[in-house]
Structure 1
């Protein structure tokens, strides 16, 4: 989070996906309070996990697609910051 105003066109879709996952998590908590079966809870948790993983994957792929050119240019100029940022984000793949 080095640049607070750093956004891509995919951020709106990612935000929407995460908000749905947030609502889904609230539903799972309610299911637990209602005493729903563990298999039902596990299934719903799996769905949330997949949604979050897809949001992360989309974010990273978008970053790579849009920032790799900038990184290559910066490396050519001898700037190491862009390469370090690229290395940092790839550890989350």
Structure 2
């Protein structure tokens, strides 16, 4: 069995996902109770944003820590490539 792979950001990622789960439960209830589509769409948007923010935080944390550690012993060219990769992940 492998060891747990935890980062400092994981509790914040979990909190975002739990918030998204709460929104999603609300959306299901709204649909089941016949709420207006505009209201449902607004809540779905909130779910989508919460999940996207959690994904972005997780990926950026991985780049900042896991890939950073791996590149620490690499040469200047690999360092430049990693810096470019880190910069582009901000657009996820």
TM-score normalised by length of structure 1: 0.72
* Aligned equivalent of 1:71: 70
Structure 1: where are the runs of 5+ without partners? 77-85
How much has 1:70 moved relative to structure 2? Answer: 2.2
Structure 2 partner of 1:35: 34
Q: How many residues align?
A: 78
What is the distance in 1 between the residues matched to 2:50 and 2:69?
Answer: 29
Q: In structure 2, how many angstroms separate the alpha carbons of the residues matched to 1:30 and 1:15?
A: 23
**Alignment RMSD (CA, Å):** 2.2
Q: Distance in 1 between matches of 2:9 and 2:20?
A: 17
**What is the CA-CA distance between 1:36 and the residue it aligns to?**
0.5
Q: Cα gap change, 1:5/1:38 in structure 2, threshold over 3 Å: closer, same or farther?
A: same
CA shift, 1:20, in A, is 1.3
**Offset at residue 34 of structure 1 (A):** 0.8
Q: Deviating runs (4+, > 6 A) in structure 1?
A: none
Task: Tell me the equivalent position of 2:80.
Answer: none
- In structure 2, the residue matched to 1:44 is 43
Q: TM-score, normalised to structure 2's length?
A: 0.73
